[in-house]
Amino acid sequence: MIYFDNASTSFPKPYEVRRAVEEALAAVTSHARGVGAGTAAAGNLLYDLREAAARFFGADGPEGAVLTLNATHALNIVIRGVLGRGGTALVSGYEHNAVMRPLFALNRTAGVRILPARSRLFDDEAFLAAWKRGLGESPDLAILSAVSNVYGWILPWREAARLAEKAGVPFLLDASQAAGHLPAGLSPGVSFLAAPGHKGLLGPAGTGLLILGPGIRLPPLLFGGTGHDSASRDMPPFPPERFEAGTQNLPGAAGLLAGIRKVESLGLSSIARYEASLLALAREELAGEKGIHTFFAGDAVRQSGLFSFVLPGEAPEETAAALAEAGFAVRAGLHCAPDAHRSAGNPEGSVRISFSCANTPGEVESLVSFLRERIRKKTATEDAPPSKRDLQ
């Protein structure tokens, strides 16, 4: 199998990650509950992970790294924490359902107003102009994906965060498609960052992170035991435990820690350059090709290692099924981001190709060959003269 669905989850997981999960299953028990070597190992593991995550994303310290189930969970903590009783949210036109569904739910239950800063695809200037206009309406929270999960557009999130800070609006950076692929962290103006553990950070599914800026105060999303402060009826007032009710996914945490260390050992800038080179190769081969509609940025710095395409006259799902039959794993459809498709003027969906540092140029060439052959066959069928049977 040639795996091009890394925006869903990265695969294959590195050996170090698989080994760390297995070792944790054999040696780690529960954190902050009970005594003994397994509990101590759990405490050390979680602390090591918090420290690694805080360093990776530029948080002040390990207490700023909250362990979550995934990026969606992290986004929900902030969205419901800030807007649970109402207010206005500023978003881009390219957010996925992890952001939009919590907002739509709050729109129904608490009257939250959703303010989309719409713009054309890959148009930074138009987006920032719309973002500025949105900030002028004094939203209570600004939320932005660092990278569109459908088109790979690297949104100008640093500038957007600075503008939000200037306007006094808390800024939540959704690093779902950036973490582990591109530099992203608590840059000036970023109040919170949500990241999945199982995508670019190479960890197992069921892991994620919420990174908190200094002095953040939010109500918890979940309530329950934390292993300390047991006599209290309330959740602890301090992060990270304030947001971590119940026993943690310790084998997952071990895998995520190994994943972050793997990304650090490979080097984030090397990963970014390599994935950009794969995208450049795909663009070089496919951008001018007739019979395929590709979504590539005119300028390479605006796109991460993922792109979308459609074969005109063929449903994306049909193309994906043909690719799967030929041994390629891709994703097709709306990619949990119907708004992104509408904003890009492509409401019917697309086939998405998303690279990781485990992909090779040879795999990209194989994809290009397959697509060229499919286009050729399709064109030949369409151009063929009608048969007698067709005319009957």
213 contributes a contact to another protein by CB under 8 A? no
What's phi and psi for 14, nearest 5 deg?
-60, 155
The binder of another protein chosen from 15, 47, 104, 223 (CB under 8 A): 47
Rank residues 176 and 226 by Cβ distance to another protein and give the closer one.
226
Q: Which residues inside 101-130 make contact with another protein, applying CB under 8 A?
A: none
The binder of another protein chosen from 1, 40, 129, 324 (CB under 8 A): 40
Residue 357, C-beta contacts closer than 8 angstroms, at least 6 positions apart: 266, 271, 274, 275
Rank residues 74 and 121 by Cβ distance to another protein and give the closer one.
74
37 contributes a contact to another protein by CB under 8 A? no
Rank residues 111 and 224 by Cβ distance to another protein and give the closer one.
224
Q: CB 231 → another protein: shortest distance, Å? A: 5
Interacting stretch for another protein, rule CB under 8 A, among 35-43, 124-132, 164-172, 251-259? 35-43
256 contributes a contact to another protein by CB under 8 A? no
To which residue do tokens 């984030």 refer?
Answer: 268
14 contributes a contact to another protein by CB under 8 A? no
Interacting stretch for another protein, rule CB under 8 A, among 4-12, 37-45, 69-77, 140-148? 37-45
Rank residues 13 and 242 by Cβ distance to another protein and give the closer one.
242
Rank residues 134 and 208 by Cβ distance to another protein and give the closer one.
208
Q: Which residues inside 60-79 make contact with another protein, applying CB under 8 A?
A: 61-63
Interacting stretch for another protein, rule CB under 8 A, among 152-160, 175-183, 223-231, 325-333? 223-231
224 contributes a contact to another protein by CB under 8 A? no
Q: CB 31 → another protein: shortest distance, Å? A: 7
Q: CB 78 → another protein: shortest distance, Å? A: 19
The binder of another protein chosen from 232, 270, 360, 369 (CB under 8 A): 232
Rank residues 241 and 275 by Cβ distance to another protein and give the closer one.
241
C-beta of residue 176 within 8 angstroms of C-beta of residue 196: yes
215 contributes a contact to another protein by CB under 8 A? no
Q: Secondary structure of the chain in the HEC alphabet? A: CEECECCCCCCCCCHHHHHHHHHHHHHCCCCCCCCCHHHHHHHHHHHHHHHHHHHHHCCCCHHHEEEECCHHHHHHHHHHHHHCCCCEEEEECCCCHHHHHHHHHHHHHHCCEEEEECCCCCCHHHHHHHHHHHHCCCCCEEEEECECCCCCEECCHHHHHHHHHHCCCCEEEECCCCCCCCCCCCCCCCCEEEEECCCCCCCCCCCEEEEECCCCCCCCCCCCCCCCCCCCCCCCCCCCHHHCCCCCCHHHHHHHHHHHHHHHHHCHHHHHHHHHHHHHHHHHHHCCCCCCEEECCCCHHHECCEEEEECCCCCHHHHHHHHHHCCEECEEECCCCHHHHHHCCCCCCEEEEECCCCCCHHHHHHHHHHHHHHHHHHHHHHHCCCCHHHHC
43 contributes a contact to another protein by CB under 8 A? yes
Rank residues 31 and 199 by Cβ distance to another protein and give the closer one.
31
50 contributes a contact to another protein by CB under 8 A? yes
CA angle 229, 232, 234 (to 5 degrees): 105
Q: CB 32 → another protein: shortest distance, Å? A: 4
Rank residues 37 and 321 by Cβ distance to another protein and give the closer one.
37
Rank residues 35 and 301 by Cβ distance to another protein and give the closer one.
35
How far apart are the C-alpha atoms of 144 and 149, rounded to whole Å? 12
236 contributes a contact to another protein by CB under 8 A? yes
The binder of another protein chosen from 229, 285, 289, 314 (CB under 8 A): 229
Count residues binding another protein (CB under 8 A): 23
Residue 366, C-beta contacts closer than 8 angstroms, at least 6 positions apart: 2, 328
Q: What residues make contact with another protein under the rule CB under 8 A?
A: 31-32, 35, 40, 43-44, 46-47, 50, 61-63, 226-232, 236, 238, 240-241
